[in-house]
Amino acid sequence: MTTAPQIVILCGGLSSEREVSLRSGKAVAEVLPGARLVELMTDALPDWLDAAQHVVFPVLHGGWGEDGRAQAELEARGIAFAGCASAANRLCMDKVATKQAMRAAGVPAIPEVAFAGAAKPTAAALVAALGEHLVIKPSDQGSSVGLYMLEGEAAVAKALAEIPASGQWMAERRLRGREMSIGLLDGRPMGLVEIVPLTGVYDYQTKYTKGASEYLFPAPIPAELTAAIGEAAARLFAACGCRDFARADVFLEPDGRFYFLEINTMPGMTATSLMPKSASCVGLDFPALVRRMAALALARATQPDRR
């Protein structure tokens, strides 16, 4: 009888989201008996990983673990792993490229101005293009990293002065309304989660602090609107070449229009994370969700043509 490969959970790494990654990794390990939890101290795969013995469940938020580089190394070594392949991770980490994919798939996306930190536009130019109520954020970092929520040209000018002369950035019109997120498992949408930050802004600190936000799941909106958002999320998942699982963030304005912000290929798996909340709406508790996520990679390990 063939022995099933061992699941190796990779977390940690050197990104700014290391601590969240560690928490996600520990939570996943608790519900996968026999899995090996590895806390990486560098941005490098362990030498001992073996395609014949191991299947990797990466929970590496940000940087090397989420921008496709870790996945490309796994692919080069023939090691099956959970989640999106390297090309989809690389695409989805780039918010500008993701929005281009959104538009190609007919998924609603708000206009943006992309710029390099070394070639910043003026505040006046951004306000003229997008209005006075803006969001500025890195275009290639996690969804809440380096986020500026701005009101008025003076605030925009101050934020631009603080932005380092490196990296890639983008500005968008600041949306007003309700922030939501939807998980996708094997390409199919799960439940819609509404996020109600008690501070009014869903930034990095609010996102990962217990009790800083309220979550309504399923989101209290009409069924036909939920279905429309789910269908658009599935199209975005396919358009970006995603596989296994992802989480899409969406904003619902008061007039009923919705806009997708991005799709996250490495969703958080902590106690405050959105993916488990979305799964609970379709009857999957946290252990069942994690087992389903792992099973997709295990299937590829035994069927190499599916990798």
CATH of the domain at 300: 3.40.50.20
Does the residue 10 lie in any domain? yes
CA separation for the pair 159, 79 (Å, rounded) = 43
CA separation for the pair 85, 75 (Å, rounded) = 8
Average pLDDT estimate for 95-115: 93
168-172, 177-181, 208-212 — which is least confidently predicted? 208-212
pLDDT score recorded for residue 129: 94
Higher model confidence: residue 198 or residue 265? 265
Decide which of 137, 156, 173 is a domain's last residue.
173
Does the residue 224 lie in any domain? yes
Do 98 and 239 lie in one domain? The reply is: yes
pLDDT score recorded for residue 198: 76
| pLDDT, averaged across the chain | 90
Residue 211 backbone class (left: φ over 0; alpha: ψ -120 to 50; beta: rest): left
Using the CB atoms, write b or e for 263-279: b if 16+ within 10 Å: bbbbbbbbebbbbbbbb
CA separation for the pair 285, 65 (Å, rounded) = 26
Is the predicted pLDDT of residue 38 greater than 50, yes or no?
yes
Using the CB atoms, write b or e for 106-129: b if 16+ within 10 Å: ebbbbebbbbeeeebbebeebbee
Do 168 and 183 lie in one domain? The reply is: no
Average pLDDT estimate for 218-229: 96
Do 205 and 278 lie in one domain? The reply is: yes
Do 240 and 98 lie in one domain? The reply is: yes
Is the predicted pLDDT of residue 306 greater than 50, yes or no?
no
Does the residue 41 lie in any domain? yes
The string of pLDDT tens digits covering residues 142-169 is 555 678 889 999 999 999 999 988 888 9
Q: By residue range, what is the domain housing residue 235? A: 92-107+176-282
Do 96 and 151 lie in one domain? The reply is: no
Does the residue 87 lie in any domain? no
Angle between helix 86-93 and helix 69-76 axes, rounded to 10 deg: 170
Do 103 and 241 lie in one domain? The reply is: yes
Please state, for a pLDDT cut of 70, what percent of the chain lies above it: 92
The string of pLDDT tens digits covering residues 233-281 is 999 999 999 999 999 999 999 999 999 999 999 999 986 789 999 999 9
Please count the CA atoms within 13 angstroms of the CA of 43 that sit on its side-chain side: 17
Do 101 and 37 lie in one domain? The reply is: no
Do 185 and 201 lie in one domain? The reply is: yes
Do 300 and 164 lie in one domain? The reply is: no
Do 25 and 100 lie in one domain? The reply is: no
Is the predicted pLDDT of residue 299 greater than 60, yes or no?
yes
Q: Which residues are catalytic?
A: 17, 143, 208, 247, 249, 262, 264, 268
Does the residue 125 lie in any domain? yes
Domain count, the chain: 3
Do 225 and 77 lie in one domain? The reply is: no
Does the residue 1 lie in any domain? no
- Check which CATH number belongs to the domain holding 167 and give it: 3.30.1490.20
- Check which CATH number belongs to the domain holding 234 and give it: 3.30.470.20
Is the predicted pLDDT of residue 124 greater than 80, yes or no?
yes
pLDDT tier for residue 3 given thresholds of 50, 70 and 90: confident
Do 214 and 298 lie in one domain? The reply is: no
pLDDT tier for residue 1 given thresholds of 50, 70 and 90: very low
Distant-in-sequence, close-in-space partners of 119: CB < 8 Å, separation ≥ 6: none
CA angle 182, 34, 85 (to 5 degrees): 40
CA separation for the pair 155, 145 (Å, rounded) = 18
